[in-house]
């Protein structure tokens, strides 16, 4: 005898997947064409973020000093790369990025 369910979801995890892929592809193409200004506009539109994208070295040092040693050691052990820095250089060619280990 087949199992009969009184209700079933109208949507699944894959619902809207094609539309999402299309929207993201369009956004990335716009950012590639429009550069940093376009990326900043998306940051403000989607996240309400209108602050500095490039963080001053002093601010990085201050934030790093607040990271608990155990967490810092764990992140180093896991080998987390800073690939985001490389991607930023593509869209913000006029900015200077310092890659740190």
pLDDT 10s digits, 25-41: 999 999 999 998 999 99
Spatial distance between the Cα atoms of 5 and 15, rounded to a whole number of angstroms? 20
pTM over 0.85: no
- pLDDT bin (cut points 50, 70, 90) of residue 10 is confident
Tens digit of pLDDT for each residue in 40-66?
999 999 999 888 877 888 988 888 888
Angle between helices 17-47 and 83-91 (to 10 degrees): 80
Is the pLDDT higher at 41 or at 91?
41
- pLDDT bin (cut points 50, 70, 90) of residue 84 is very low
pLDDT of the residue at 26: 95
Closest CA to 31 of 22, 46, 41: 41
Mean of per-residue pLDDT scores for the chain: 78
């Amino acid at each position: 005898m087949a199992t009969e369910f009184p209700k079933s979801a109208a949507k699944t995890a894959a619902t809207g997947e094609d539309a999402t892929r299309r929207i993201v592809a369009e956004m990335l193409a716009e950012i590639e064409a429009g550069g940093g200004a376009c990326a900043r506009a998306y940051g403000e539109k989607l996240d309400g973020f209108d602050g500095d994208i490039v963080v001053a070295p002093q601010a990085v040092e201050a934030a790093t000093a607040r990271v608990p040693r155990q967490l810092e050691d764990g992140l180093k052990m896991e080998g987390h790369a800073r690939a985001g820095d490389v991607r930023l250089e593509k869209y913000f060619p006029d900015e200077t990025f310092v890659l740190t280990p």
